[in-house]
Structure 1
């Protein structure tokens, strides 16, 4: 993965700890289980879900989790329509995630409805599940930094239950270009030098002028998918009755790349 140096460092710390605990256990030394519930903070498209999937696999390969799967949910999956329904839905999702990772995106939405909202019931059920199924699953809460920080303070039991907090920074323009090159290569497309120049200018403009939170790698993917559609239209008009050559089929030209 491009960038994310602080995340990679923390993941390596966890890996090292798990490995040493394994050695300690084999040497008949104390190897007490640690708590690995986490909070991921950052803007969209910064790699939070991808890192969660990789961690699930890592934990499974190190023997921490039995299955290593990721169950990704949001408020609608957890919150029910009547009293007791939310706790039931939340418990079912926790059970589904046992042996793996339960990943709750935009977790702060659970606390938005006020005191009478069923979201509070979901939070209370999750806190209890973290105790009941200790070391049987990893809970990861994700979302924007400010909202997540405010959310954590809504329940006195929450801050101490998430000892690992990862900050996912926005990608630099250079990193976003690198991501774009990786995405195009995966799909058997190429970005011409002049196309890369136009993409770079587009990214600089979007990062500085966007009135919404910049969506990072997600923005790059959307721009590239749109460019691929424009390329398809261009090629069909240029070659109405014959197949374009291999290089033409692969090349994304500057006119194909446009802002969203």
Structure 2
């Protein structure tokens, strides 16, 4: 007979089914199994926490985004404490983690969403933690019923992970008769029916996303986490330029940085002036300009092959 609990063993002694010595040996074995289980649980939790910290270090290595990093760590701490409370049989807060990302293009929204997916996977909130990135065209169909099917297909791909909808406000632009409303209704239903399998992140420009939330009274309450992604300042943009160049084994001199600032200042009041995508585009074009410039030389040094000169960047403006 298998004894699952210590009280079962004690009862067996009282009824004479086993001797006191046999009971002592069984209780020792139970204690060892219990210790091993606790060790494995602690070890697994420790390894998971270590992996989460490594992922958060990836977040910390991103330039700027200080307020975003702070909020992500708050979300991580909230989930961890709720799990600990659950173990102690305390009342827990519901894990509603659907989010709104507000900011201009190229300010790190997709990158942060991917990192969140990995964090949630390690914490057991999501089974896969992958990111499905879509926009209006991936959801809205051309005839009645088509939108619901397209939306369900995209939701199905995202189960176990994050569905990231860029320029989400475009779903509400056509008014009541637009098929975008059908996509929204379908997503809201999925948020209820598959609440433990899916996290939705709606992203877009600051003001447009605010207006979008006003189109459906229930949307704001379903997306309790709002994260603002500010434009990068000049110093952050130059740091991003250094980072991009280093990854590609190029160098950008101080004079070249001044040339880049000149280009960025010429884009002021443009929605793309303060983002990483603009910097990357400038550098990629500068690399091509540098290649054309160096073709006139029969022999080039390692330094010349790596250095982006001011003229390479300023040409981009033309």
Q: TM-score, normalised by structure 2?
A: 0.77
Counterpart for residue 247 of structure 1: 303
Distance 1:60 1:206 in 2: 40
| Structure ranking higher in helix proportion | 2
Q: How does 1:28-177 map to 2 (within 5 A)?
A: 28-177=89-238
Could you tell me which residue of structure 2 aligns to residue 229 of structure 1?
288
Tell me, in whole angstroms, the C-alpha distance in 2 between the residues paired with 1:245 and 1:22.
Answer: 58
The answer to whether the Cα contact below 8 Å between 2:161 and 2:198 also exists between their aligned partners in 1 is: yes
Contact preservation (8 Å) 2:132, 2:163: yes
The unaligned stretches of length 5 or more in structure 1 are: none
Whether contact under 8 Å (1:33, 1:135) holds in the other structure is no
- CA RMSD of superposed structures (Å): 1.4
Structure 2, unmatched stretches of 5+, are 1-61
Aligned equivalents of 2:100, 2:80: Cα separation in 1: 23
What is the DSSP-based 3-state SS (H/G/I as helix, E as strand, rest coil) of the residue aligned with 1:238?
coil
Q: TM (normalized to structure 1)?
A: 0.94
CA distance in 1, matches of 2:181, 2:267: 37
Residue pair 1:192, 1:252 contacting (<8 A) in 2 also: yes
Higher-Rg member (1/2): 2
